[in-house]
Structure 1
Amino acid sequence: MTDEFYAELRNIIAKPTPMTKIDTNNYPVWFTPALRQSLEEKLKYHRRFKKYKNPRDYDTFSMLRNRCKKLIKNDYKNFVSSVESSLDDDIKFFWRFVNDKKNNANSIPKTMKYGNHISSDEKEICEFFSNYFSSVFANPEETIFYSHNELSNRSNCTLSDNTITPDHIQQKIAKLD
């Protein structure tokens, strides 16, 4: 009776249940199939070397490790480039990238070194940041602003020479989607 019950239960479950395999991808979205394949092959040779201690397996593993490092750099550079080029067409793609970066980053480092001091205390780390930013701070009263005529006469004009007003920023923000 138990066997018949389980057989009937399996039939009932099998009818409305879709039998598709859910792909669990543990790789970042920017990993190409070639990189994934190289990583799996590298792992295979690493395991073989650990098991059999064959120097040829280690040489192959080492060669694959170098190839993976190059592929990772290249794939990530291409992905960032595609994010940058899609700014005009697909702004959501850009913001997904930014939010993903923001969610993966730790907001406060566990330990920090400033000068000759190392600390893991959050308050001291905040003090390190405070000391650094106060050391590079430029007093706004000492900042020199140039008029448009003065800027046009300068041959080496840089971005820091331009004056940006709060009204200008407000206008730009109002134009954002």
Structure 2
Amino acid sequence: MAITDSFVALQGQLFHSYIRRIQSDIQSNPKHFWRFVNDRRKRSEIPSVVEYNNQTASSDASKAELFADFFESQYTPSDDIDLNGLLNECRNDALDCELNEANMNKGARPDGILPKLLKNCAHSLVKPLTKLFNKSLQAGIVPNALKTS
């Protein structure tokens, strides 16, 4: 048996042993199970070629454009937006509540800001963020920095 074959066989055995351990510990250590699940989810990749509406894309930029076209087609513009209702939802106390409920066990967001920082600075951030969100809603413009999840 070649070294490569031995390695592949041992790797398979270790993986199956790992899976059995996760299965047996699922009730006593669910965090371990969810870590495994989330790790497996992260491995999913965008296909090398994306097709939509009789168009094919292979570069990241062209795939992103096709995804944007698809999602844009799923929504229809509406003039029935209750701007006053939206502005009332974005009040100091509502934002303060959201900031204080930030899960401090989570990692940094795409903008690099830790939830712990938001929670600890909530009182200082509420007024300027509320003004920013209200101006954005009034203008009907969402800054690009706020479009990342």
TM-score relative to the length of structure 2: 0.38
TM-score (norm 1): 0.34
The one of the two structures with greater contact order (alpha-carbon pairs below 8 A, sep at least 6) is 2
